[in-house]
Amino acid sequence: MDLDFELLGRAFWPLVKGALLGTIPLSLISFALGLAIAIVIALMRISRHRWLAAPARVYVSIIRGTPLLVQLLVIFYGLPEVGVTLDPWPTAIIAFSVNVGGYAAEIVRAAILSVPRGQWEAAHMIGMDRTLTLRRIILPQAARVSVPPLSNSFISLVKDTALASLVLVGEMFRRGQEIAAESSQFLLIYIEAAAIYWVICLVLSFGQTRLEERLDRRVA
């Protein structure tokens, strides 16, 4: 394979633009919404009320038991059959958010359960109810514990956004597909797109490491 540096140069900016205007915003929005869903589902999972815990368990089971690609296609191509039609961007955001919520819920739940039981009891002894204990004592500690796995989930989400190209979202991989189809240089363009994904993930991994170091210093 001969390297066509002119083609790589022409493709670079459209790919970066697709990352800046598509991949990264899609990842940030979906992760933020997914994390909000995850916190709610995690709290339902640890609830003493079966009518809260049971639906949360079913939700997590469905999300973890079905492929993200299938979830995406069901929303975009399946829902119109029952009268619900969504544009590509809302489809991708909903699918990725719901998927992140299912996986991150177990991370958040495990982090909450990792806080020693004695802290619940101590808070109860000084007159704090369950909600106040969660908000002021348990969740802040759980947040520190959940940072590494949640960061890994976010990095995985950035790569998973490539699936949004299947529902016509103009993110980076979609731009790569268009350029590759025009030039017939699929391998070259896809390698360039993969390199950009790799750089993005390296930056996120560096940020994750620095965040963990800051949290560890505060604990120390």
pLDDT, one tens digit per residue, over 76-113 is 999 999 999 999 999 999 999 999 999 999 999 998 88
**Residue 48, both tokens:** 């003493």
Nearest Cα residue to 179 out of 4, 7, 6, 3: 7
Name 8's Cβ contacts closer than 8 Å, sequence gap at least 6. 188, 192
What pLDDT score does 220 carry?
45
Task: Evaluate whether 1 touches 185 at the Cβ level (below 8 Å).
Answer: no
Q: Give the domain range for residue 156.
A: 5-219
Amino acid identity at 200? I
Amino acid identity at 106? E
pTM: 0.89
**Mean of pLDDT values over 193-220:** 84
CA 122 to chain centre: 35
Domain containing 92 — which CATH number? 1.10.3720.10
Task: Evaluate whether 106 touches 96 at the Cβ level (below 8 Å).
Answer: no
Count how many Cα atoms sit within 13 Å of the Cα of residue 66 in the half-sphere of its side chain. 18
Overall domain count for the chain: 1
CA-to-CA distance for 198 and 155, rounded, in angstroms?
Answer: 10
Instruction: Read off the pLDDT band of 217 (50, 70, 90).
Output: low
* Percent of the chain whose pLDDT exceeds 90: 66
Cα–Cα–Cα angle for 74, 97, 144, nearest 5°? 150
Higher pLDDT, 128 or 219: 128
Task: Evaluate whether 93 touches 33 at the Cβ level (below 8 Å).
Answer: yes
Name 137's Cβ contacts closer than 8 Å, sequence gap at least 6. 115, 119, 123, 128
**Residue 26, both tokens:** 């899609």
Higher pLDDT, 85 or 132: 85
pLDDT at 125 over 50: yes
